[in-house]
Amino acid sequence: MTLVLAIGTRKGLFLARSADGAAWKVEGPQFLMQEVAAVGFVAAPGGGGAPRLLAGVRSEHWGPGVSHSDDLGETWAEAEAGSVVFPDDTETALERVWQLQGDPARPGVVWAGCEPTSLWRSDDAGETFSLVRGLWDHPHRPWAPGFGGAAVHTVVTDPQDDGRVLVAMSSGGVYVTRDGGGTWLPSNKGISAYFLPDPYPEYGQCVHKVAADAAGPAVLYAQNHHGVYRSDDAGATWTSIADGLPSDFGFVMLAHPQRSGTVWVLPLEADGRRVPPGGRLRLHRTRDGGRTWSEVGTDLPDGSWTSVLRDAADVVGTGDDAAPLLTFGTRDGCVWASTDEGTTFVEVATHLPDILSVRAAVVA
Amino acid sequence: MTDPGPVAVQGSTGAGPPPERSVVVVLPAALRDEADGRSTVTVSVPTAPAGAAAVTVGNVLDALAAAHPRLERRLRDERGTLRRHVNVFVAGDDCRALLGQDTPVPDGAEVVVLPNIAGG
C-alpha cells in the first residue's frame, strides 16, 4: 500500500509518496510555471489498477485545461480538442478549473466546478466534459464573484441517488438538483451572508466548502465565509455548530470517510485577518457532529501567519477507521499529513510554491 | 528536440479553390510540441476570404487551428479571442497595436507568436 498526495501549487504539480505515512518522498514539479488549482484521483477507466490522476492546469500564457494521467503522474494526456470548452452559444470562455470530483458510486463520472461559475460532467473519467445546462441557465446567474473569482468549487454526490448532486459556489451558496442537473434550487436556509443587506437571503451566501458525513449526504457540514454549519436534512436547513471554535472563519471542511460525526475545520481569525488565530496553525476536530470541538495537531507550528485554501486539504480512508490519511498544504508551501485523525502530523514538504490544491489516495 | 523544419499546412478554402498565399508563422519554444516540434509552420491562406480585402492575422490563425487544434487552444480561447498574454507580431509590429486579428498580413510578412511577460 502506498499513500500518494497530489499537490497543486501556483507553479506546478508535486507528488508525494509514502509507505507508512511517516517518511515521504516528494517529486516534481510537473507543469512548471502553470497553476494547478484542482487535482483529483478518480476511478481508472475500466476499473482496477492505479486511480486516474486529474489536474486542472492553467498557464498565464496558454490558458486552462484538464490533463489526465493513468500512471500516477509519469505521463499526461489532454483531449485534443480541449477538455472543458464552453459551447459557442454561451459566448463564454473558460477561466479556470476549480474542482475535479469523481463520483465514487459511478465510476467514469467526474464533475468539474469551473470559473466562470459553471458545473461540468464527464462520462469518460475526466477526459472531456459537458456543460450542465440546468445550472448555467439558472435564473439566479450571474452570481457575484468572491475575492478569488466566481466559480463552482464544491460538488457532493449521493451514492444512493444519482439524480441528486449538491454544489457550492462563491458567492451564490449551496444549490441542489434532484434530477441529475436539469433543475437546481438554492439550499441556504440558515446560512448567514452578513455582507448583504438581508443577512439570510435565499442565495448569495459565500459558502467556502461543504462535506458529507460518513453516513451519507443527508448530514452535511459547511464552512462559510464566517459561520460553521451542519444540516441534518440534506441541506434544506442549516444550523450553526461554531460554538467552541476559536473562529468561525476558514476555508477547509473535511469529514471522516468512515466515522460519522467526525469532522475537521482549520480556523482562520476572520475575513479581515486571514491567518491562524494567534499564529497557531491548528485543526479543530469534532467527534460528535459539531456539538464539541477540540484543537488537534500537536506537531503543527506556532508563529505561523499563513493560511490554507479550501481545496488544499483532504482526507481519505486507508482501511483502518482510526487511521485515515489526513493532509493539508499551506500558502507558504508546507504540506502536512496525519494518520491518527489529526492528533499528530508529519511535515511532508516545505518551501513549495503557494499550495492551491491537495488530494490524497491510497494505492495498492 | 531537433526542429523538423517548416511544414506547409492547407488552410480552409470554403466553396471552390480560391487563390492561396503561404504565410510563415514562427512559434516560441514553449509551443513547438503542439506543432510536431517545429519552430515554424507555413500555412496556406486564401487571398480573398469572403468579405475580406486582405489576408489577416485571424485568417492565418484559422489556418493554423485547422491543422493544430491543440496549438489553437493555446493561442486563442473558445470565443476566438487571442489570449491576454499571447502576442502576435506582423512584420515586427504587435497586432494589438494595429487592428488585432483584423490586422492585414502583407505579402512576404512573417507572423511571429511570442509570449508576453506574465506571472510572478
Is B69 in the A-facing interface, judged by CB distances under 8 Å? yes
Spatial contact of A59 and A67, defined as CB atoms under 8 Å apart: no
In this complex, do A63 and B119 lie within 8 Å of one another by their Cβ atoms? no
Cα–Cα dist A347/A297, whole Å: 11
pLDDT in tens, A174-211: 999 999 999 999 999 999 999 999 999 999 999 999 99
Which residue from B minimizes the CA distance to A90?
A: B79
Domain extents in chain B: 8-115
In this complex, do A80 and B30 lie within 8 Å of one another by their Cβ atoms? no
In this complex, do A60 and B118 lie within 8 Å of one another by their Cβ atoms? yes
pLDDT of B53 higher than 80? no
DSSP state of A143: P
Which residue from A minimizes the CA distance to B65?
A: A81
What's the sign of the alpha-carbon dihedral A231, A233, A234, A238?
Answer: negative
What is the pLDDT, as a whole number, of residue B7?
Answer: 56
| Strand intervals (E) in A190-257 | 207-213, 216-224, 228-231, 239-240, 249-255
DSSP state of A104: T
Question: Would you give the distance in Å from CA A24 to the centre of its chain?
Answer: 23
pLDDT of A260 higher than 80? yes
Cα–Cα dist A355/A111, whole Å: 22
pLDDT in tens, A69-127: 999 999 999 998 899 999 999 999 999 999 999 998 999 999 999 999 999 999 999 99
pLDDT of B50 higher than 70? no
**DSSP calls for B67-89:** H-HHHHHHHB-TT-PBPTTEEEE
Cα–Cα dist B109/B112, whole Å: 10
What domains are there in chain A, each with its CATH number?
Answer: 2-363 (2.130.10.10)
Which residues in chain A are contacts of B69 at CB distance < 8 A? 80-82
Cα–Cα dist A155/A7, whole Å: 19
pLDDT of A342 higher than 50? yes
Instruction: Say what the alpha-carbon torsion angle B91, B93, B96, B99 is, to the nearest 10 degrees.
Output: -60
Which residues in chain B are contacts of A65 at CB distance < 8 A? 73
Which CATH class, in words, describes the domain spanning B8-115?
alpha beta
Cα–Cα dist A245/A240, whole Å: 11
Spatial contact of A76 and A30, defined as CB atoms under 8 Å apart: yes
Q: What is the rounded average pLDDT of the residues B66-82? A: 95
Q: Which three cell numbers stand for residue A256?
A: 471522516
Task: Report ipTM (2 d.p.).
Answer: 0.87
Tell me the percentage of chain A whose pLDDT exceeds 70.
100
Spatial contact of A340 and A21, defined as CB atoms under 8 Å apart: no
Cα–Cα dist B58/B96, whole Å: 12
Q: Indicate the average pLDDT of chain B.
A: 86
Q: Which residues pair with A59 in a beta bridge?
A: A63
Question: Going by C-beta distance under 8 Å and a sequence separation of 6 or more, which residues neighbour residue B7?
Answer: B36, B38, B41, B42
Q: Indicate the average pLDDT of chain A.
A: 96
Is B79 in the A-facing interface, judged by CB distances under 8 Å? yes
In this complex, do B85 and A33 lie within 8 Å of one another by their Cβ atoms? no
Which residue from B minimizes the CA distance to A93?
A: B78
Q: What is the rounded average pLDDT of the residues A249-268? A: 98
Is B29 in the A-facing interface, judged by CB distances under 8 Å? no
What is the pLDDT, as a whole number, of residue B1?
Answer: 47
pLDDT in tens, A205-252: 999 999 999 999 999 999 999 999 999 999 999 999 999 999 999 999
pLDDT in tens, A21-45: 999 999 999 999 999 999 999 999 8
In this complex, do A62 and B79 lie within 8 Å of one another by their Cβ atoms? no
- Of the residues A61, A67, A91, A95, the best mutation for testing chain B's interface (the one with the most B CB atoms within 10 Å of its CB) is A61
Question: Going by C-beta distance under 8 Å and a sequence separation of 6 or more, which residues neighbour residue B16?
Answer: none
pLDDT in tens, A301-313: 999 999 999 999 9
In this complex, do B73 and A63 lie within 8 Å of one another by their Cβ atoms? yes
In this complex, do A62 and B83 lie within 8 Å of one another by their Cβ atoms? yes
pLDDT in tens, B10-37: 554 455 666 889 999 999 999 999 999 9
What is the pLDDT, as a whole number, of residue B3?
Answer: 59
Query: Locate cell 508525494: which residue?
Result: A16
Kind and range of the H or E run holding A16: strand A12-18
Kind and range of the H or E run holding B66: helix B57-67
- pLDDT range class, residue A46, cuts 50, 70, 90: confident
pLDDT of A320 higher than 90? no
Question: Would you give the distance in Å from CA A194 to the centre of its chain?
Answer: 23
CA distances from A357 to A8, A69, A152, A309, B60 (A): 5, 17, 15, 8, 38
Which residue from A minimizes the CA distance to B81?
A: A93
Burial of A71 (0-12, 13-18, 19+ CB in 10 A): exposed
What is the pLDDT, as a whole number, of residue A14?
Answer: 98
Burial of A179 (0-12, 13-18, 19+ CB in 10 A): exposed
- pLDDT range class, residue B48, cuts 50, 70, 90: low
